[in-house]
Chain A
Amino acid sequence: SQKIEQNSEALNIQEGKTATLTCNYTNYSPAYLQWYRQDPGRGPVFLLLIRENEKEKRKERLKVTFDTTLKQSLFHITASQPADSATYLCAREDSSASKIIFGSGTRLSIRP
């Protein structure tokens, strides 16, 4: 079955640095990968989608890459701020293309 793995449970970095989160998937390459942000006590909020044929996508301070050879997506936040502290979830469509499945998330903490 397809799996999404976010190996880092938590990541702590200094404000102003670039945060890099990793997402690995198994089995076949999904047509796209998604990244969501989740704050404590809130529901996930969609951030970015990157398609299989896109190497990189940017949105403001966010950048996502998709490497089908490594079966990996990297999520970068440049010039990180304490307000970026949250749990970030990687997600993919499953083989039936009927639902999105999620990784366990990486809890990012940006210290001033």
Chain B
Amino acid sequence: EAGVTQFPSHSVIEKGQTVTLRCDPISGHDNLYWYRRVMGKEIKFLLHFVKESKQDESGMPNNRFLAERTGGTYSTLKVQPAELEDSGVYFCASSQERVGLTGELFFGEGSRLTVL
């Protein structure tokens, strides 16, 4: 069974440009999460989808970030326009059950974003 896949693995863009990150969760996993790790800091929660609905987007830094999950399958995270502080590794994770039950998350390998 395929794991969580993320694309691209690395993106280098200039400040002010747009980048779209994609995540394909494990098939059948209704819960999809985006996290981010910036240099030297802990992995921080961005948002949570259940199917196509946003359950919690309290971690989204600002309105330059837009996440979608049309059809409840794959998800995209768009950063527009990108700023220097957006550089980091963006992780996607999925789970079959909600966090409150067992919470085991299956992570992708991450998309490294470098904003110059």
Contacts and interface: CB of A to CB of B under 8 A. Distances in A.
A103 B99 contact: no
Residue from the set B93, B103, B107, B109 with the largest chain A CB neighbour count within 10 Å: B103
A11 interface: no
Interface residues of B toward A: which range? 20 to 34
B56 interface: yes
B48 interface: yes
Interface in B42-65: 42-45, 48, 55-56, 59
Interface residues of A toward B: which range? 20 to 34
A32 to B, nearest CB: 7
B109 A42 contact: yes
Interface of A: 4, 31-32, 34, 41-46, 49, 89, 93-94, 96-105
23 contacts: A32-B103, A34-B103, A41-B109, A43-B93, A43-B109, A43-B110, A46-B105, A46-B106, A49-B102, A49-B103, A93-B99, A93-B103, A96-B56, A97-B99, A98-B48, A98-B99, A98-B100, A99-B33, A99-B45, A100-B33, A100-B45, A100-B105, A102-B44
